[in-house]
């Protein structure tokens, strides 16, 4: 019975995911872009319907940063990609 409880606890831990600092995500995305893999990653993520859950504090941080740097139009809303370019760093809208 102890083994079943331990296995269930491990499965729950895996289902929760991993906490990753935002700067690490940004570095990862920039690395993809620098190595010319961003378009492949975006296409694969869309095909597999990959998604992430963002903590409300992180959303507030991003919104504040965008507002402070006059970049409000660079964000996406409702899962719609507003950037017309395949290059994520050239989104000017």
- Higher per-residue pLDDT: 86 or 45: 45
Distance CA 67, CA 70 (A): 5
Q: Which helix (H) or strand (E) holds 19?
A: none
Domain range summary for the chain, segments of one domain joined by +? 20-75
Rg over alpha carbons for the chain, rounded to the nearest Å, is 17
Q: Are 55 and 64 in contact (CB under 8 A)?
A: no
Q: Is 68 helix (H, G, I), strand (E, B) or coil?
A: helix
Q: Which of 4-8, 49-53, 89-93 has the lowest mean pLDDT?
A: 89-93
Question: Can you give the pLDDT at residue 93?
Answer: 42
How many helical (H) and strand (E) elements, i.e. helices and strands, does the chain have? 4, 0
What does pTM read for this prediction? 0.57
Identify the bridge partners of residue 80 per DSSP, sorted by sequence position: 77
């Amino acid at each position: 019975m102890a083994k079943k409880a331990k296995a269930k606890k491990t499965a729950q831990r895996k289902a929760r995911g991993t906490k990753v600092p935002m700067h690490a995500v940004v570095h990862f995305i920039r690395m993809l872009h620098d190595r010319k893999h961003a378009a492949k990653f975006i296409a694969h993520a869309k095909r597999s319907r990959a998604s992430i859950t963002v903590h409300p504090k992180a959303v507030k941080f991003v919104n504040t940063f965008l507002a402070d740097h006059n970049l409000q139009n660079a964000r996406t809303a409702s899962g719609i990609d507003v950037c017309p370019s395949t290059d994520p760093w050239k989104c000017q809208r």
